[in-house]
Amino acid sequence: MTSIPLEVPTVRAERHPTREGRRYLVRTFGCQMNEHDSERISGMLESDGMVRADGVDDADVVVINTCCVRENADNRLYGNLGQLKPVKDARPGMRIMVGGCLAQKDRDLVQQKAPWVDVVFGTHNLSRALALLDYAEEWGPITEIHDETASIDSIPSTLPVRREVDHSAWVTIMIGCDNACTFCIVPQVRGREISRRPGDVIREVTRLAGDGVSEVTLLGQNVNSYGRDLGIDGRRRPVFAELLRRVGEIEGIRRIRYTSPHPKDIKEDVALAMAETEAVCEHLHFPLQSGSARILRAMQRGYTPERFLEKLRMVEGIVPGLATSTDIIVGFPGETEADFQGTLKVVEAARFDGAFMFVYSPRPGTRAADMDDRVDPEVIKERFGRLAGLQQQITLDKNRALIGSTVEVLVEGPSRKDPAVVTTRTRTNKVLHLSGPHPPGEYLMAVVEAAAPSHLMGRLA
Ligand code: SF4
């Protein structure tokens, strides 16, 4: 009798004998990091001979890549799993896999609540998804969660990938976060910061450029500390500015974006690299979170509103034509009207081109979730409305100021609403619609003719 293996082997040399031509579906919740992880999961499944399914009904493997940063992640996951149960009952051969942050955090709970799930894997076990699927096919359900990334080699960018678009790609430069923002679950689920070696990043981007990619987005939770853990030249110093310059030298790369920088850590060297490297786009995502010194302290963000604005002015002063966006949380525990007024003041002063605004919701496992003085939801709603109104007006004013100017745009694809129109993006990360058709990946010059808060409209220059 064969016994159940104690350990799941990591790699196998050949494709799985029965997986060729079977169909998979990956559902993604969450941020760009998760979207990118999903591309890796798809890439791994396709490297095993599988093809993409049209929907759940023809899928042999369904992967749910979860996120626990945003609200309702649990409801969404268990709602999805509930819908999959009758499908699995009807087709017991279908495999269900759950990965990502919520899997990392909830661990055994996923299979307790939804025993029809075959594989639960954590954020540090992504590279083992295929091996775990093999195990589940043979031996039954398995949960595998590691708490720390085993090594730099387990950073997902080293895995096969199935990119959603041909001309644009995400490139993970680091994972994890050494900060301790009290509202954020990322440090617990993604672990400490680990940077990829610059040479590995350069090789990956060079390979992407060879495949026809002209735009890359460098991903990390706190890119300004990129490289600190590598001890390059025997010193624990960040080398993100150098990385930007080196990626900018790669032939074929016309646009470089990155997310996210941390306002407390960004320095002149990064702004100078942005200004002096032609390919780096004039766009900075600069997460404010709150404009109140008291709330920023409670959030453990490491800056004051004044310092935030100083840093913003520093980058704006160095990078001509810079557009900015931000993240703001409304209703953090203890937020008073005076604190909220502080946020409005910073928003007015900063004049961001756009903002992602969130109603605070406690994430179990974070320090803020244990804070008592919750803000009344009705008060939060009213504040959110005021903030959204202010930001919308600023965005519209800034977009209107572009009317008549000529900008370079990159074609993303046909507009969802009108196939005769193509959706493009400016270097400053604004959506611009113009008459098509034009193939995705083409660079055009466009004259801005009209502006709305969410987009620009234009014509070919
Ligand atoms: S910097 Fe703060 S908000 Fe960003 S990932 Fe780290 S802990 Fe979370």
CATH architecture of 23-144: 3-Layer(aba) Sandwich (3.40)
For residue 378, what pLDDT band results from cuts at 50, 70 and 90?
Answer: very high
pLDDT of 71 reads 61
298 lines ligand 1 (CB under 6 A): no
Cβ within 8 Å of residue 124, ≥6 positions away: 104, 145, 146, 147, 148, 149, 150, 154, 191
Q: Residue 70: which of 112, 114, 100 has the closest Cα? A: 100
* Residue that has been written with the tokens 């993303």 in this structure: 412
- Fold: same for 165-281 and 406-460: no
pLDDT in tens, 224-252: 999 998 887 777 888 999 999 999 999 99
Angle (nearest 5°) at CA 395 between 390 and 400: 125
Task: State yes or no: pLDDT of 317 exceeds 60.
Answer: yes
Structural tokens at position 201: 């990043």
pLDDT in tens, 64-104: 998 776 667 778 888 999 999 999 999 999 999 999 888 88
Minimal-distance CA residue to ligand 1 atom 2: 181
Reduced 3-state DSSP string for 29-75:
CCCHHHHHHHHHHHHHHHHCCCEECCCHHHCCEEEEEECCCCCCHHH
- Mean pLDDT in residue range 337-365: 95
Task: State yes or no: pLDDT of 377 exceeds 60.
Answer: yes
186 lines ligand 1 (CB under 6 A): yes
pLDDT of 161 reads 74
pLDDT in tens, 381-423: 999 999 999 999 999 999 999 999 999 999 999 988 888 999 9
Q: How far from each other are the two terminal CA atoms of the chain, in whole angstroms?
A: 73
181 lines ligand 1 (CB under 6 A): yes
pLDDT in tens, 102-111: 888 887 888 8
Span of 11-25, 213-227, 310-324 with lowest mean pLDDT: 11-25
pLDDT of 135 reads 82
pLDDT of 2 reads 42
For residue 142, what pLDDT band results from cuts at 50, 70 and 90?
Answer: confident
Span of 16-25, 153-162, 200-209 with lowest mean pLDDT: 153-162
> In angstroms, rounded to a whole number, what is the distance separating the alpha carbons of residues 348 and 7?
56
DSSP-derived 3-state class of residue 194: strand
**Pairing state between β 443-451 and 406-414:** antiparallel
32 or 374: which carries more pLDDT confidence? 374
At the top level of CATH, which class does the domain 406-460 belong to? mainly beta
184 lines ligand 1 (CB under 6 A): yes
- Mean pLDDT in residue range 30-36: 79
pLDDT of 7 reads 57
Residue-wise DSSP of 393-460: HHHHHHHHTTTT-EEEEEEEEE-SS-TTEEEEEETTS-EEEEES---TT-EEEEEEEEE-SS-EEEEE
| Atom in ligand 1 nearest the alpha carbon of residue 260 | 4
> In angstroms, rounded to a whole number, what is the distance separating the alpha carbons of residues 295 and 343?
10
At the top level of CATH, which class does the domain 165-281 belong to? alpha beta
| CA 344 to ligand 1 centroid distance, Å | 22
Structural tokens at position 204: 């990956």
Angle (nearest 5°) at CA 409 between 404 and 412: 135
Span of 144-148, 170-174, 299-303 with lowest mean pLDDT: 144-148
69 lines ligand 1 (CB under 6 A): no
pLDDT of 126 reads 81
Task: State yes or no: pLDDT of 157 exceeds 70.
Answer: no
Inter-axis angle of helices 268-276 and 240-248, nearest 10: 10
pLDDT of 312 reads 98
- Mean pLDDT in residue range 263-291: 97
Task: State yes or no: pLDDT of 277 exceeds 70.
Answer: yes
pLDDT of 10 reads 55
Minimal-distance CA residue to ligand 1 atom 8: 184
- Mean pLDDT in residue range 163-167: 83
DSSP-derived 3-state class of residue 166: coil
101 lines ligand 1 (CB under 6 A): no
- Mean pLDDT in residue range 288-312: 98
222 lines ligand 1 (CB under 6 A): yes
Domain ranges of the chain: 23-144, 165-281, 406-460
179 lines ligand 1 (CB under 6 A): yes
Angle (nearest 5°) at CA 165 between 323 and 177: 60
| CA 257 to ligand 1 centroid distance, Å | 19
When the pLDDT of each residue in the chain is averaged and rounded to a whole number, the result is 89
Sign of the alpha-carbon torsion through 39, 40, 41, 44 = positive
Q: Residue 100: which of 130, 66, 73, 72 has the closest Cα? A: 66
pLDDT of 150 reads 47
pTM: 0.80
